[in-house]
Chains A and B, each alone.
Chain A
Amino acid sequence: SAVISQKPSRDICQRGTSLTIQCQVDSQVTMMFWYRQQPGQSLTLIATANQGSEATYESGFVIDKFPISRPNLTFSTLTVSNMSPEDSSIYLCSVGFGQGGTGELFFGEGSRLTVL
């Protein structure tokens, strides 16, 4: 398992601004992912954060809107750029372990963003 710390835990943001979410893991991990959970919905994968290279984005998510950094094996950031109310959501950092690799995920506590 791993201890995953996310900051901020919550924030209220103004339309058009950007916010960076930090994810710190207490051990080195290969697989790190960013998910979004919109109100009342399940989890949607935004991207895989790759150490030392550009993140791999899922369909519907683009780097200009959700730039991701992964400078080392314990840390990553997700920026939500030029926010609109539709970006109001919980953003979750997760890491993968075990035989299942990407399936056995541990999640941070999430960052709840409200965009006004």
Chain B
Amino acid sequence: QKEVEQNSGPLSVPEGAIASLNCTYSDRGSQSFFWYRQYSGKSPELIMFIYSNGDKEDGRFTAQLNKASQYVSLLIRDSQPSDSATYLCAAIGSSNTGKLIFGQGTTLQVKP
């Protein structure tokens, strides 16, 4: 079982819709979770991080964490074609001395 798992997609949504990206993790001791966005041919860039159960909002983005279910999600409201990218979920595990482990990423396509 991979430490961080994502559906590779692609996830296709129409412009203006809510895109929901999901991620599960296996290390119950993980405390910190991150969402990165990677445009094709570019490096990943940090979008959001979340440490506590519940929701964290930043503009059109909302990260959600449920530690009991070992589940992290990223919601993108009012999706735009410019949001089309691969979204990488990442976690810092409890036993790996702070190293960041990435999921395989979900490709999001926002269609005009």
Residues of A within 8 A of B (CB): 33, 41-45, 48, 58, 92, 100-110
Contact = CB atoms under 8 A, between A and B. Distances in A.
B20 to A, nearest CB: 20
B17 interface: no
B95 to A, nearest CB: 13
B57 interface: no
A42 B43 contact: no
A101 B42 CA distance: 23
Which of A42, A107, A109 has the most chain B CB atoms closer than 10 A to its own CB?
Answer: A42
Given A105-B46, A107-B44, A110-B43, A100 B92 contact: yes
Contacts of B99: 33, 45, 48, 58, 102
Given A45-B101, A106-B46, 18 more contacts: A42-B103, A44-B102, A45-B100, A48-B99, A58-B99, A100-B51, A100-B92, A101-B98, A102-B92, A102-B98, A103-B32, A103-B34, A103-B100, A104-B34, A105-B46, A107-B45, A108-B43, A109-B43
B80 interface: no
A109 B105 CA distance: 18
27 contacts: A33-B100, A42-B88, A42-B102, A42-B103, A42-B104, A43-B44, A43-B102, A44-B102, A92-B43, A100-B32, A100-B34, A100-B92, A102-B92, A102-B99, A103-B32, A103-B34, A103-B98, A104-B34, A105-B34, A105-B36, A105-B46, A105-B100, A106-B46, A107-B43, A107-B44, A107-B45, A109-B43
Given A92-B43, A101-B98, A43 B88 contact: yes
Contacts of B98: 101-103
A33 B51 CA distance: 22
A104 B44 contact: no
Contacts of B105: 42
Interface string B64-93: 000000000000000000000000101010
A41 B43 contact: no
B61 interface: no
Given A100-B49, A107-B43, A109-B43, A41 B104 contact: yes
